Structures are given as structure tokens and as C-alpha cells.
Structure 1
Amino acid sequence: MPISFIEHQGKKIIFCDFKEMKDKQQIFDQLDEMAETFKQSGGNLLVLTDVRGTKNDPEIVDKTKRLGKEVFSVYAKKRAIIGMDGLRKLILKGYNAITGNDLKPFSTIEEAKDYLIS
């Protein structure tokens, strides 16, 4: 289930699983589903996104930036991401600057969940 809700220490977290996605259209569809879920939530979301092994190209980055600014930053209280290493960390810095998001990178899902509920 790519977009789901999980619980960690009694708190609800939306989990956006992009792990190992390679098909650009599948990623676009998932981003759209994620945006719609955020809009229906009413806001103050704790969000965990897993992008380990996911395809990355300029069109995907552009769509993510647009939705980040228009939707994700509006409805999310805290956001964590795993799978951002090397060059992807630089892309994340730019994403945060452009969108006004404060998306924090982590090495493991457990570290990310602990951050979100803190």
C-alpha cells in the first residue's frame, strides 16, 4: 500500500512509500494521491516518506517541488524522509529552500518515526 497511515507510540503518521519506484508515471500518480490525501486530512500531518532506490529526474523533481509548495508545506506539521544520501541531500536542501518545507532526512524508518512524534 503506497500511501497509508501507521501508528508510532500512539501517534498517527502518514507513510508515503515510493521505495524502489522506477516508473515515472507511477511516481506521478503516487504524488497526486499523496497530495489528495493531504488535502482531505485537514492538516497537521506527521509525514514519513521513503524514497530509497526511487528514480529521480528533472520532471519528477519539478512536480515534487510544485506540490511541496502548494500542498505538502500547507498540510504537514512535520515531515521526515529516508533514502536521501549523496547528491539527493543537495537536492533536498534546494527543495526545502524553494518550497518552504522543512523535510528532514534520516537513515532509518525508526529514527524518522521517533523524530516525527517528538
Structure 2
Amino acid sequence: MRQPEIINYSGRRIFFMDFNGLREVQEIEDLIKQSKDYIRMQPEKSVISLSNIQGMHFNAEIKNIFSEFISGNKPYVSHGAVVGISGLQRIVYNGIMKITGRDLRSFETLDLAKEWLVSKN
């Protein structure tokens, strides 16, 4: 089972969730549950988050799971980035951002995302 991890990058702690290539709803739910358990125990606006969703399967059920997850994390995440959005995922992603009122930035590579995350105050 895949687990979230803390990445130290340029002296900053980034909470990394790697959904890359996940196809099964249960795998995605398990990673989200572990992530939720960690994020929602942190002080408000203290988490810097990074998600890789490249090649991850999306459907209506997964969209709903992500919407709840992203919305519920809002008080705890100071800023976040997403990598790997392509094609139809972009439409789903834009919808989730609108529904949740979040502004998670999308990047083409993990390195670009990390650089942006650590450049923020």
C-alpha cells in the first residue's frame, strides 16, 4: 500500500501524496485516508502539499472523494500543488477547484511544483 510522505526540499517540509498510476478506488481511498489523518492533525495553514496524479484513474466516485478531501483540508493547507493533470483530468480538476474554493496550482513536473511551493511564504 502506497503511503504519503514528508519531503524535505530547500529546507521546507512538503507533504507528498503519490497517486501516480493508481487505478483502484480502494487504493486511492486508502492514500486519502492516511493523508487526511495527518493533514487534519496539523496547525491551521501549516501544511504545504504536493500531489502527483499522473495516470491516475478518475470517475465520478473518485471526483467526489477528492472534492471532500480537498475541501476538508482547506483550513490546514497554506498552499499546494498538483502534478500530472492531463486531458479530461483537467476538466475534473477545474470543477473540483471551483466546488471547493481552493487554488491548488498545477505544474508539469515535480521539480517545478517543489520550486514554486518553497518560494511561497
Residues 34-113 of structure 1: matches in 2 within 5 Å? 34-43=35-44, 44-69=46-71, 71-113=72-114
TM-score (norm 1): 0.93
Which has the larger share of helix?
1
Amino acid at match of 2:58: N
How many residues are matched?
117
Question: What is aligned with 1:19?
Answer: 20
Amino acid at match of 2:5: S
Q: Distance in 1 between matches of 2:25 and 2:93?
A: 19
Q: Distance in 1 between matches of 2:36 and 2:101?
A: 16
Amino acid at match of 2:8: E
8 Å Cα contact 2:81/2:117 also seen in 1: yes
TM-score (norm 2): 0.91
Q: CA deviation at 1:87?
A: 1.8
SS at match of 2:49: strand
Q: CA deviation at 1:2?
A: 2.6
Is there any run of 5+ residues in structure 1 with no aligned partner, and where?
none
8 Å Cα contact 1:2/1:18 also seen in 2: no
Q: CA deviation at 1:13?
A: 0.3
Identity %: 26
Is there any run of 5+ residues in structure 2 with no aligned partner, and where?
none
SS at match of 1:41: coil
